[in-house]
Chain A
Amino acid sequence: MSEPGMVLNNPVQVGTREQDLILGVQRGQHELFYELVRPYERRVYAAALAILRNEHDAEDAAQEAMLKAFANIRQFRAEARFSTWLIQITVNECLMRRRRERTVVMEGIDGRRSGRDDEESEYAPRDFADWREIPSEALERKEVRQRLAEALGTLDRKYREVFVLRDMEHLNIQETAEALGITVASVKTRLLRARLMLRDLLAAGWEQGWFSRPPFEKGNKPW
């Protein structure tokens, strides 16, 4: 059994155990449900946060999505991936919340902003720092993770949602399109822009050493 937060790196083993858990819950062993969803709780929360942008709302929506998954688990069919099904329920829950809460004003603001940098128009990279290394070990540092989260938070909603579902939740293009109710072409266009915008935002930080050394050392402030 995988511990919370562990990377699920053995799909066959995970699949078999997961199928057993799903069957068990469908047959009334409700106590198995938490074990079933536990490996995905962080992904569910991340998807909710990407859409709602508020930690409290995201946590509540994530819990609500889990409850809906529990209530509807008999409708889950084995041909789908459980994680994708769960993420789609989460996205639906969050999109409904956003509509319910009448964030029309915010949508309007987003709309105006997107009018300025329309997704149909070209996005040209602005920073050409030679960023060849892959500094994944930098993720051990909380400040780096925070920087990345902040950069993501600056993206317009439509770019952020696509990016999170595709590159953080690892849904494929088609699944991302279905979850958000947009076309495959829109997913690709938004994903391209999101990746290039994040690259620009982070390339500046890369030049200033965010990823290679602690950002608050004397004489090394990243701003």
Chain B
Amino acid sequence: MVDQKMLNCEQVWREISNYVDGDVEAGLRSAMDEHFRTCQRCASVLAGTRNVVQLYGDERMLEVPAGFAQRLEKRLAKNAAVKGGGWSSWAAWLVPVAALLLITGSVLLTNSLSGGRFLRSHHAEPANNIPPDLVVVVSDGSKVFHVAGCPYIHDKASERTITAKEAMRDGYVPCTRCLRQYLKTGLSGRPGVEVADDDRAEAEDEGEGVLSTAGH
């Protein structure tokens, strides 16, 4: 605990940023005020730190390259034009919904024919020890979460980062590729299952790709 009546310069420097932000408690503040009155060096450090905050906080420090605004406006307009009817167009939902129904039906049919044993997805496997605070990436393209940079992220335009805990709470499941280490691998006891699972993961990813593509 700092003896606030006897602050030395090092203690003042350690708190000077919080002091500038008004983020020190009253006792410490008055001890620092007193120190600044008697210490020329620390008063100079304080003045300089304040100047830094003021100079860089000025709007004039935020410069953009020539033509930036025009290029941005053009790109936004182009994007809006591509979107066409946009979010309010109910017809835009028909394709992905139809694709979803078709694929879900196919999977259910195949699963029922095979007794449901061999098409059990990695996604159905519980995650194993995923750190809850791990920052992961989700997107609107699927209900799968990924490590940033995973090549199997769909609908990259809607990527956003959240924690693994939040992702699982919101119903996302871990990507079988980039988060494989956290999945319970293998459907126990079946020889050669690793290879088979790899193939299925591939198929699942491609399936998601179809859904995602259809969703655009």
Given contacts A63-B72, A148-B56, contact A199 B45 (CB under 8 A): yes
Q: How far is the CA of A100 from the CA of B47 in the complex (A)?
A: 41
Q: Does A112 contact B (CB under 8 A)?
A: no
SS class, residues of chain B in contact with chain A: helix
SS class, residues of chain A in contact with chain B: helix
Q: How far is the CA of A89 from the CA of B158 in the complex (A)?
A: 10
Report the nearest A residue to B135, measured CB to CB.
A181
Cross-chain contact of B72 among A5, A62, A99, A128 (Cβ < 8 A): A62
Cross-chain contact of A92 among B16, B60, B72, B161 (Cβ < 8 A): B161
**Across the interface, do B52 and A198 meet the contact criterion of CB distance under 8 Å?**
yes
- Counting contact residues on chain B (CB < 8 A from A), the size range is 35 or more
**Across the interface, do A139 and B86 meet the contact criterion of CB distance under 8 Å?**
no
* Residues of A with C-beta under 8 A to B160: 68, 72, 89, 92
* Residues of A with C-beta under 8 A to B52: 167, 195, 198-199, 202
Q: Does A95 contact B (CB under 8 A)?
A: yes
Q: How far is the CA of A134 from the CA of B159 in the complex (A)?
A: 42
Q: Does B73 contact A (CB under 8 A)?
A: yes
Which B positions have Cβ atoms within 8 angstroms of A?
A: 10, 13-14, 16-18, 20-21, 23, 40-41, 44-45, 47-65, 68-69, 71-73, 75-77, 79-80, 83, 86-88, 135, 137, 148-149, 157-161
Which A positions have Cβ atoms within 8 angstroms of B?
A: 4-5, 7, 27-28, 30-31, 33-34, 37-38, 41-43, 45-46, 55, 59, 62-63, 66-68, 70-72, 74, 89, 92-93, 95-96, 99-100, 102, 122-125, 127-136, 138-140, 145, 148-149, 152, 163, 167-168, 170, 173, 181, 188, 191-192, 195-196, 198-199, 202-203, 206
Closest 4 CB pairs of A and B: A192-B17, A42-B62, A199-B48, A30-B80
